[in-house]
Structure 1
Amino acid sequence: MGRIVISENVTLDGVVEDPTGEEGFRHGGWFLRLGDKDRAAWAELELTEARATEALLLGRRSDEWFAARWPARRGAWADRLNGLPKYVVSTTARAPEWSNATGCEGKVLNGDPVEEVPALREELDGDIVVYASIRLAQTLLEHGLVDELRLTVFPFVLGAGRRLFDGTSLSDPLRLVSTRTVGDDLALLTYRPAHGSRRRRS
């Protein structure tokens, strides 16, 4: 059985919106404020995570964003991400946009993610990682379909912007299972459901 893992970059006050400054958010581009040492440490963290990932689960917009940037990139991290199977939650797409020349497996999940994602978890083994895809991540959190939550916390306070937990209500507590300093100023916080792997509530 697979594990659904949400892996997100967040500011100290929980904002996930527009880290690269390409969406027009007035506080966008906060990721780009990292110093070289922290950026290198973050990239190493991401490579380690990618090597332990079996598939990616994405929303349609995030799939399109990655597809426009990552296939042309080179290096161990890019090669690993480009080669992973991608599963995209969408009611309009016919196939994942982000694929590669080797024809990696993957498909579009056209149905309700609350029904489709548990089936995907039963089908696959290993970590199924959600990058970006905030709307999808919020749906999975709201319905108790997340096995692990990894938050890389950036030392910036924006005071405004879309937050990961906006509009969600988590009645089940999360348990902090590990903390790690990344570079000089980043922190990786890993949480799991306090009562084990959560399933959809009836």
Structure 2
Amino acid sequence: MGKIIISENVSLDGVVQDPTGEEGFERGGWFGQIGDKDREAWAKLKLDEALGTEALLLGRRSDAFFAARWPSRSGQWADRLNSLPKYVVSSTLQEPKWSNSTVLTGDVVNEVSKLKQELDGDLVVYASTQLVHTLMEHDLVDELRLTMYPVVLGAGERLFGETSDKKPMRLINTRTVGDGLAFLAYRPVRDA
């Protein structure tokens, strides 16, 4: 059975909006404000994650964002991401932009639940905030991997939206990435 892994870059106050500054959010661009040592350590963390991933699970906008950037890149990380199977959740997308992609057009909860049953290994979700909200609400997330950036933005779209009830988590891993980033991994506590 597959595991749904949410892997996100977040500010200290949980903002995930416009990390690269390309969307025009006035507080965006925080991802690029780290030093070279942090960036290299982060890239190693993400490469290791990609090498251990069975497939990617993305929303439509994230598929388009990554498809515009990764196919032209080279190297071990790019080769791995470009070759992975990708599942894109969308009710409107006809033709996914990134290679090896399958569009999941039905009910999100049913489609993802079925996918978890069919696949073995990790299904990693990058970005895709709206999808993350749905997966969290329906208890489909098996692990959260958060890379925390040392900045408080004070505004912006946050990783976690409102839920119908609290979602208890257990810390399973923590470490420093480079000089200034923190990696935190959590698993949901079921039936708490």
- TM-score (norm. length: structure 1): 0.92
Task: Name the aligned partner's letter for residue 108 of structure 2.
Answer: P
**CA–CA distance in structure 1, aligned partners of residues 138 and 5 of structure 2:** 14
2:131 aligned partner: 136
Task: Name the aligned partner's letter for residue 57 of structure 2.
Answer: L
Q: CA deviation at 1:194?
A: 1.4
Q: Cα–Cα, structure 1 residues 79 and 148, in superposed 2: closer, same or farther, change >3 Å? A: same
User: Secondary structure in 1 aligned to 2:28?
Assistant: coil
Task: Name the aligned partner's letter for residue 46 of structure 1.
Answer: K
Q: CA deviation at 1:172?
A: 3.4
Task: Name the aligned partner's letter for residue 122 of structure 1.
Answer: Q
Q: CA deviation at 1:169?
A: 4.4
- TM-score (norm. length: structure 2): 0.96
Q: 1:122 aligns with which of 93, 114, 117?
A: 117
Q: 1:173 aligns with which of 168, 173, 177?
A: 168
Q: CA deviation at 1:96?
A: 2.5
**CA–CA distance in structure 1, aligned partners of residues 124 and 165 of structure 2:** 20
- Structure 1 residue runs without a partner (length 5+): none
**CA–CA distance in structure 2, aligned partners of residues 194 and 91 of structure 1:** 31
User: Secondary structure in 1 aligned to 2:63?
Assistant: helix
1:187 aligned partner: 182
Correspondence 1:93 to 2:93:
yes
2:2 aligned partner: 2
**CA–CA distance in structure 1, aligned partners of residues 93 and 47 of structure 2:** 28
**CA–CA distance in structure 1, aligned partners of residues 189 and 116 of structure 2:** 20
Q: CA deviation at 1:22?
A: 0.7
The count of residues paired between Structure 1 and Structure 2 equals: 192
**8 Å CA contact retained: 1:87, 1:96:** no
Cα deviation, 1:65-124, whole Å, max 9, x if unaligned, reads 11111100000000000000000000111242110xxxx3x4110011111100000010
Instruction: Give runs of ≥4 in structure 1 deviating > 2 Å.
Output: 166-172
Amino-acid identity (%)? 68
Q: CA deviation at 1:47?
A: 0.2
Correspondence 1:80 to 2:75:
no
- Structure 2 residue runs without a partner (length 5+): none
**CA–CA distance in structure 2, aligned partners of residues 28 and 78 of structure 1:** 24
